[in-house]
């Protein structure tokens, strides 16, 4: 993967990021979500992957609020979403490189990261099922437990922490 560079998003990357998400997913919802989070100043960390001067992937982390059972008792963590790799560059380790670089950057100030994603993919990066820890995705329309994960980036960061995880309002507007 030495031919892929991971770096922070820059202002000139916005249209290429939109295109990468639009090409990677059947609907433009994820591409629009990135723009909505950016507009709402809810993009905590946004990284891009470049190969031969071309943007081929993107990952974004935004704040999530975890409400505990007692009202008014909550804490903030990060949510990984969305992530996209241009279809012409998928299955080449670019997504993994983005996740690893993102989690490394998150360790400096953000000890907990959640993701709603594929159960065969995210555990390889240290994510574990959130439900056994007493952490649940806020949408109760179906059981998200099999695909909702948490990564404790700093040992002990999750000690005694349980609750319902709420993503930014932009996610509900997809």
Confidence class of residue 1 from pLDDT cuts 50, 70 and 90? low
pTM for this prediction:
0.94
**How crowded is residue 151: how many other Cβ atoms within 10 Å of its Cβ?**
25
141: left (phi over 0), alpha (psi -120 to 50) or beta: alpha
> pLDDT digits over 23-74, tens only?
999 999 999 999 999 999 999 999 999 999 999 999 999 999 999 876 668 8
pLDDT in the model for residue 174: 73
> Strand 128-129 and strand 135-137: pairing?
unpaired
> pLDDT digits over 63-122, tens only?
999 998 766 688 999 999 999 999 999 999 999 999 999 999 999 899 999 999 999 999
Give, in words, the CATH class of 4-172.
alpha beta
Q: Please, are residues 105 and 45 in contact by the beta-carbon 8 Å criterion? A: yes
* Alpha-helical runs (H) found in 25-141: 29-39, 94-106
Residue-range domain boundaries for the chain: 4-172
């Amino acid at each position: 993967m030495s031919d892929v560079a991971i770096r922070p998003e820059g202002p000139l990357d916005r249209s290429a990021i939109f295109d990468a998400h639009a090409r990677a997913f059947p609907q433009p919802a994820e591409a629009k979500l990135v723009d909505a989070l950016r507009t709402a100043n809810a993009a905590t960390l946004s990284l891009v992957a470049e190969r031969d001067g071309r943007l081929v992937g993107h990952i974004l982390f935004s704040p999530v609020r975890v409400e505990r059972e007692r009202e008014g008792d909550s804490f903030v963590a990060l949510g990984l979403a969305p992530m996209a790799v241009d279809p012409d560059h998928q299955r080449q380790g670019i997504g993994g490189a983005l996740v690893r670089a993102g989690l490394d950057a998150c360790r400096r100030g953000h000890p907990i990261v959640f993701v709603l994603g594929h159960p065969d993919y995210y555990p390889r990066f240290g994510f574990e099922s959130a439900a056994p820890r007493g952490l649940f995705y806020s949408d109760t329309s179906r059981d998200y437990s099999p695909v909702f994960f948490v990564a404790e980036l700093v040992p002990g960061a999750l000690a005694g922490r349980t609750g319902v995880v709420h993503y930014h309002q932009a996610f509900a507007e997809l």
